[in-house]
Amino acid sequence: MKVQLEKFDHIVLCVADVDETRAFYERVLGMESREERPGKYSLHFGDAKISLQDAATAPDIAKDTVPGSGNFCLVTSDPIDRLLDHLIAEGVEIRDGPGQRSGAVGDLLSVYFNDPDGNLVEVSNRL
> Which of the residues 6, 35, 90, 122 is marked catalytic?
122
Mean pLDDT on 57-81: 84
Of 45, 18, 17, 47, the closest CA to residue 29 belongs to 45
Residue 80: pLDDT above 70?
Answer: yes
Query: Range with the lowest mean pLDDT among 3-17, 33-47, 95-109?
Result: 3-17
Of 81, 48, 91, 126, the closest CA to residue 13 belongs to 48
| Domains, in order of start, for the chain | 10-57+69-126 (3.10.180.10)
As a whole-number percent, the residues of the chain with pLDDT over 90 amount to: 72
- Taking the model in full, what pTM does it have? 0.88
Residue 5: pLDDT above 70?
Answer: no
Query: Range with the lowest mean pLDDT among 22-26, 60-64, 94-98, 114-118?
Result: 60-64
- Residue 20 annotated as catalytic: no
Residue 58: pLDDT above 80?
Answer: no
